[in-house]
Amino acid sequence: MTKTDALLIKEVSVLALPIALAAILDFLLSKDTLLVIWVIAIEFGLYLLQWYRVLLTSEERPPIQQSLRFVLTPLARHFASTHENARREAVELSAEVGRLKIRATNRKNKMATLVRDFRDSLSALPDAIIALDRNNRIEWWNKAAGDLVGLSSSVDQGKRIEVFFPSAEFREYIVQDDLNDPIEIRAPVSPEKLLSIRITPYGDNQRLFRAEDVTLVKQLESVRQDFVANASHELRTPLTVVLGYLETLIDQKVSNPEQVRNAMEQMYQQTTRIKGIVEDMLTLAHLERGETAPKEKVDIGDLASRICSEAISLSGEKEHAISANVDPGYFLIWNPEEIHSLFSNLVVNAVKYTPPGGEITLDWTGSSNGAWFSVRDTGIGIERSHISRLTERFYRVDVARSRESGGTGLGLAIVKHVLGRMGGDLEITSEPGVGSCFICHFPAELVERRSAQENRPPCHNPVIMSR
């Protein structure tokens, strides 16, 4: 570029500024918008001419920013700066929108995860959980609700909960304002199950239906009530006898020494019975607490001999034919008192319920699978319908006969609990008028032996009692 060209460009640039300023003033004074447009067009043309001259005469093309700073007039630079600021703000705004979208997506995913985890936790609950809308229509339920109420996939979604509980009792309950107290209703799928239902309001007029299976709780409560009633009755009967004799003696209505002796004997028998009931109840409580008792080697041969002697003494005038068949050399590794209680209760029951002159046989056999102890008698026998309940506390097949025999009603319950602690099983076979057979199986790890025989007691068609 020659000095002349540079001077020409400088002059043209200098002239461009007054022209632009004059156009602006003319616009403000005369409001001639068309003239301003023409002036701006001339200004832009001069800018192109200056840019073209620089490009033709420069050996190295200058950067666009440097060229613009050289040739742009103040007005053009203002327009360029405004455009650049607007572009920069648009980029920043777009970036901010992108960040907000990412943040919203993350929050949405987090909320979905929380909802999914919450529903998974509800599905793991054993209680039936059902979400209801304001019209008691089903929106969601967990797995337990499907099992207890009978809901299936999406077929039942949207149905009213009253469809599954059509009883008038439930319909009256669900329209109440105060739902703090639960209601107990039979399960629609399994009528033998009892459900405790509670409905809790939440959210926007929504309701949470919860049903708990309380069948076992009610059964245990019934057993507890029966136990208290039976225990009270069992203790009250002998106490009444003792109280009667004491009142007679206090009033001095008995003067005959023989009558006094008879009264003393009766009171002794009744207090002995009370003592037996209390001791058996304490034994059961000890067994149910699962307290660890010291274990020893119990010689089965010696134990069977002692039990037979006790049975003969108890039999007395009944003159039962009592015998024992015991494989020699066997030991049970357990608490001696619990083992003696187990064997003794089975034999005592046989003596009590076998008519005079009947036969009672004790058998002990062992094998590689453990050992078996059985007590067989030719007693009155038991109906099959009663066998499953024989190990319940104070359960009586014949109440009058049981009280005549002087039993506490806890013997077989103790046998069951001892075997349960040992990991054994109780099998019962009985036929009315023929007799009964009680077999105890002991696991091999509790049996120590010096010889083994693969024989079992000859009892057939056993009823297996659960541990």
Q: Do 160 and 248 lie in a common domain?
A: no
What pLDDT does 65 receive? 45
Position 304, amino acid:
A
**Is the residue at 328 inside a domain?**
yes
Q: Is residue 338 one of the residues assigned to a domain?
A: yes
β-bridge partners, 427: 439, 464
Whether 446 and 306 share a structural domain = yes
Q: How far apart are the first and last CA of the chain?
A: 113
55-102 per-position pLDDT tens digit? 555 544 444 444 444 444 555 556 556 767 777 888 888 888 888 888
The domain in which residue 193 lies consists of 125-213
For residue 253, pLDDT beyond 80:
no
Q: What is the pLDDT of residue 236?
A: 82
442 within 8 A of 372, measured Cβ to Cβ? yes
Answer for the pair 424, 403: CB distance below 8 angstroms, yes or no: no
In whole angstroms, what is the distance from residue 167 CA to residue 428 CA?
43
Is 85 within a domain?
Answer: no
Distance of CA 401 to the CA centre of its chain: 44
Structural domains counted in the chain = 4
Q: 442 and 298 in one domain?
A: yes
Give residue 452's pLDDT: 46
In a domain, 225, yes or no: yes
253 falls within a domain: yes
Q: Average pLDDT of the chain?
A: 77
Identify which has the larger pLDDT, 6 or 113.
113
Amino acid, res. 282: L
Q: Residue 363: which of 434, 300, 433 has the closest Cα?
A: 300
CA distances to 246, 252, 253, 260, 314 from 256, rounded to whole Å, are 15, 10, 9, 6, 30
User: What's the rounded Cα separation, in Å, for the pair 369 and 86?
Assistant: 92
pLDDT tens per residue, range 269-303:
888 878 877 887 888 888 877 777 788 999 999 99
Contacts by residues 450-458 (CB-CB < 8 Å, ≥ 24 positions apart): 450/329, 450/330, 451/327, 451/328, 451/329, 452/366, 452/367, 452/368, 453/327, 453/365, 453/366, 453/367, 454/367, 454/368, 455/365, 455/367, 456/365, 456/367, 456/372, 457/363, 457/365, 457/372, 457/374, 457/376
Same domain, 186 and 321: no
- Across 44-58, 138-152, 247-261, 436-450, the highest mean pLDDT is recorded for 436-450
| Residue 132, strand partner residues | 138, 207
Task: Give residue 48's pLDDT.
Answer: 55
Q: Is residue 114 part of a domain?
A: no
- Closest among 318, 395, 393, 302 to 350, alpha carbons compared: 318
Higher pLDDT among residues 440 and 466, named by residue: 440
Both 440 and 309 in one domain: the answer is yes
The two tokens of residue 76 are: 């053009």
Q: How confident is the model at residue 465 (pLDDT cuts 50, 70, 90)?
A: very low
In a domain, 329, yes or no: yes
Same domain, 361 and 434: yes
CA distance 264 to 329: 46
- Confidence (pLDDT) at 440: 95
Tokens of residue 22, six digits: 């004059």
User: Do 403 and 436 belong to one domain?
Assistant: yes
Global confidence as pTM: 0.52
Residue 272 pLDDT? 81
**Strand residue runs (E) in 275-368:** 296-299, 321-326, 330-334, 359-367
Q: Tens digit of pLDDT for each residue in 376-425?
A: 999 888 888 888 888 887 777 765 555 555 556 788 888 999 999 999 99
Q: Which of 6, 73, 18, 75 is nearest to 46 (CA)?
A: 73
The residue out of 193, 213, 233 marking a domain boundary is: 213
Domain with residue 441: its CATH number is 3.30.565.10
Can you tell me which residue has the tokens 């054993």?
A: 126
Do 424 and 316 share a structural domain? yes
- Percent of the chain past pLDDT 70, that is, above it, reads 74
Residue 287 domain-assigned (yes or no): no
Whether 57 and 194 share a structural domain: no
- Of the three residues 188, 213, 238, the one that is the final residue of a domain is 213
Query: Quick one: 194 and 311 in the same domain?
Result: no
Task: Please check whether residues 410 and 342 belong to one and the same domain.
Answer: yes
> 109-143: per-residue pLDDT in tens?
888 777 676 666 666 677 888 888 888 898 888 88
Mean pLDDT of 230-256: 78
**Are 366 and 432 within one domain?**
yes
Domain boundary at 27, 56, 72, which?
72
Stretch (H or E) spanning 199: strand 194-202
What are 161-199's pLDDT values in tens digits?
A: 888 888 888 888 888 877 778 888 888 888 888 899 988
Specify whether the CB–CB gap between 352 and 406 falls below 8 A: yes
For the segment 339-350, the average pLDDT, to the nearest whole number, is 91
